[in-house]
Amino acid sequence: MEHLLKTKSLSSCFLLAILVLIPFAIAETHYHEFIVQRKPVKRLCKVHNIITVNGQFPGPILEVRNGDSLVIKVVNAVRYNVSLHWHGIKQLRNPWADGPEFITQCSIKPGGSYTYRFTIEDQEGTLWWHAHSRWLRATVYGALIIYPKMGSYYPFLMPKREASVLLGEWFDRDPMSVLRQALLSGAAPNVSDAYTINGQPGDFYRCSKKETVRFGVNAGETILLRIVNSGLNQELFFSVANHPLTVVAVDASYTKPFKTNVIMIGPGQTTDVLLTANQPPAHYYMAATAYNTAMNASFDNTTTTAILQYNNNYQQQPKPILAQLPFFNDTPTSTRFTAQLRSLNRANVPTQIDESLLFTVGLGLINCTNPNSPRCQGPNGTRFAASINNNSFVFPKSNSIMQAFYQGIPGVFTTDFPPVPPLQFDYTGNVSRGLWQPGRGTKTFRLRYGSSVQIVLQDTSIVTTEDHPMHLHGYHFYVVGSGFGNFNSATDPARFNLVDPPMRNTIGTPPGGWVAIRFVADNPGAWLMHCHIDSHLAWGLAMVFLVENGEGEMQSVLPPPPDLPPC
């Protein structure tokens, strides 16, 4: 499915020229109905009944402006419980619209509906939306594009056109059954059978070549590619043959422009790049393939493609020109890419820290009383787990954390999530097997409204070191530093970038390393922080921040909407 966005039509450009003269622009409210329903689609020679929104895969692209509001009625017409998350939207004082099931709401039951209402406040760029209920987001996702307000402009030369590039993973069976089998057996889930660009695998897969997505360009023009990693479990390298990419934004935050031949993008992340069509007219492959950091772990080692196609008549070579992509384990290339990211302007980074937190993130193994039984098919007869600070998160089943927090209902969660690892050890060294099994619980950490927070996310070598893309709901944060090995609180902060660090909502931990983030806790509510590798989320790599109300109505959570789904 190709979705090529003209920058604006002639009528829109005329309207823009008029509105430049108006000192303010009136925000709009956008109304949508999202029907979650099954639809047969053919991929890799087989027809599958997949779960979609409005029969579209990927789902509808939402286009709004900074300051606009959205009213989206979600109707559940499938047999699974459903919730939707508007990934990267800050949802100020409005956790009820955030979406993760059993965190800010109970799911929409089959036959039910819920209307998400929220306003875009001081955000612009590329975000996305997706299901936040188990593995439904394998096919339930779409782009959410926030344009500048009328009369405002991009901080770079206006491109001639724009295109959304949604990278995904395709399973040649029902993704929910893949997850169900993994959770039953305790083993790692089967990997995807293909990667996709805008829902299509591309030329290198069986029965796929006719549907390969094509992006048309005119010679000499510059286009903006809005790239989203919508995949379930895999970081990806992305490149366009013979065309350097100029990075101008990540996670709906503008960056200082820099050129690169390849980007690395983790699940949940977005990257905006400018591409100038300055090569000889031809067909050029866009391509994405795995960046895999977990040692001895199976992964989908295939390549998805789309075609950048120059318009007009010319003699085309038999095959499109190939894109050059790094090897799957090329951590130096990934590190060089992320190290170049800088905020466009001087950042307002918190310098006086009220809460300094150290979170170990990684995998674990649960020992079985009956090893190698049907429910213990993990390594050496165990079950896979994952944790933060040795706590494997357990989602509630009878109520959401936000509802219990707001209504003062006891017994749903505890507030004893540890601010530092309960036991210090050589996190990236040879860890004793006695430390491989985490505890389990629905633990949260309370934050005072307005407190300045620093979190160091420390990868561990338990089972394997790995890049974990960590997503914080309800917030964007500054990425002030990173490194390999164990974080050293005495020496590493001296190297922090407190001038122009990039702002993100999802950040990867360097494999066998650490990353430091900072933000101000000025959005009250219950906010999930988790690894965006969905198999890791299912194993418990998550926790919840409870941000208390401040003073007065404008620093307090809004009342829950009357149609909040019942538990």
Say if CB 163 and CB 4 are below 8 A apart.
yes
Give residue 316's pLDDT.
Answer: 84
Give residue 253's pLDDT.
Answer: 98
Give residue 26's pLDDT.
Answer: 87
* Mean pLDDT (whole number) for 485-489: 98
In the chain, domain spans: 21-153, 156-343, 355-555
Look at residues 385, 376, 362 and name the one whose alpha carbon lies nearest to residue 294. 362
Look at residues 521, 551, 364, 531 and name the one whose alpha carbon lies nearest to residue 445. 521
Dihedral pair phi/psi, residue 433, rounded to 5°: -60, -20
* Mean pLDDT (whole number) for 313-341: 95
Q: Domain 21-153 belongs to what architecture?
A: Sandwich (2.60)
DSSP strands (E only) in 401-537: 439-441, 444-447, 452-459, 469-472, 477-484, 503-504, 506-508, 513-520, 525-531
Distance from C-alpha of 221 to C-alpha of 218, rounded to nearest angstrom: 6
Give residue 179's pLDDT.
Answer: 98
What does the pLDDT look like over 20-58, one tens digit per residue?
334 456 899 999 999 999 999 999 999 999 999 999 999
Q: Is 7's pLDDT higher than 90? A: no
What does the pLDDT look like over 446-476, one tens digit per residue?
999 999 999 999 999 999 999 999 999 999 9
Supply 112's token pair.
């039910």
Weakest-pLDDT range from 36-40, 222-226, 368-372, 418-422: 368-372
Distance from C-alpha of 396 to C-alpha of 112, rounded to nearest angstrom: 20
Look at residues 128, 170, 62 and name the one whose alpha carbon lies nearest to residue 270. 128
Look at residues 43, 268, 82, 294 and name the one whose alpha carbon lies nearest to residue 188. 294
Average pLDDT, the chain: 95
* Mean pLDDT (whole number) for 324-348: 98
Q: How does DSSP assign 343-375, residue by residue?
A: BSS------S-SEEEEEEEEEEEE--SSTTSTT
What does the pLDDT look like over 120-165, one tens digit per residue?
999 999 999 999 999 999 999 999 999 999 999 999 999 999 999 9
Largest CA distance in the chain: 74
What does the pLDDT look like over 427-443, one tens digit per residue?
999 999 999 999 999 99
* Mean pLDDT (whole number) for 373-399: 97
Say if CB 257 and CB 248 are below 8 A apart.
yes
Give residue 24's pLDDT.
Answer: 53
Class level of CATH domain 355-555: mainly beta
Give 1's pLDDT tier (boundaries 50, 70, 90): very low
156-343 homologous superfamily = Cupredoxins -  blue copper proteins (2.60.40.420)
Instruction: Put the strands of the sheet holding 125-131 in their side by side order.
Output: 62-65, 141-147, 125-131, 84-87
Give residue 25's pLDDT.
Answer: 63
Q: Given this chain, do its domains 156-343 and 355-555 carry the same CATH topology?
A: yes
Distance from C-alpha of 109 to C-alpha of 117, rounded to nearest angstrom: 19
Q: Helix (H, G, I), strand (E, B), or coil: what is residue 379?
A: helix
* Mean pLDDT (whole number) for 208-221: 97
Say if CB 353 and CB 383 are below 8 A apart.
no
What does the pLDDT look like over 69-128, one tens digit per residue?
999 999 999 999 999 999 999 999 999 999 999 999 999 999 999 999 999 999 999 999
* Mean pLDDT (whole number) for 223-247: 98
Q: Is 6's pLDDT higher than 70? A: no
Distance from C-alpha of 450 to C-alpha of 456, rounded to nearest angstrom: 19
Q: Any idea how long the chain is?
A: 567
Strand 503-504 to strand 439-441: parallel, antiparallel, or no bridges (unpaired)? unpaired
Burial 219-247 (b: 16+ CB within 10 A, else e): eeebbbbbbbbbbbbbbbbbbbbbbebbb
Give Cα 236 to chain centroid, integer Å: 12
DSSP strands (E only) in 389-465: 391-393, 439-441, 444-447, 452-459
Weakest-pLDDT range from 25-29, 184-188, 358-362, 418-422: 25-29
DSSP strands (E only) in 44-87: 46-53, 62-65, 69-76, 84-87
Distance from C-alpha of 75 to C-alpha of 53, rounded to nearest angstrom: 9
DSSP strands (E only) in 379-490: 383-388, 391-393, 439-441, 444-447, 452-459, 469-472, 477-484
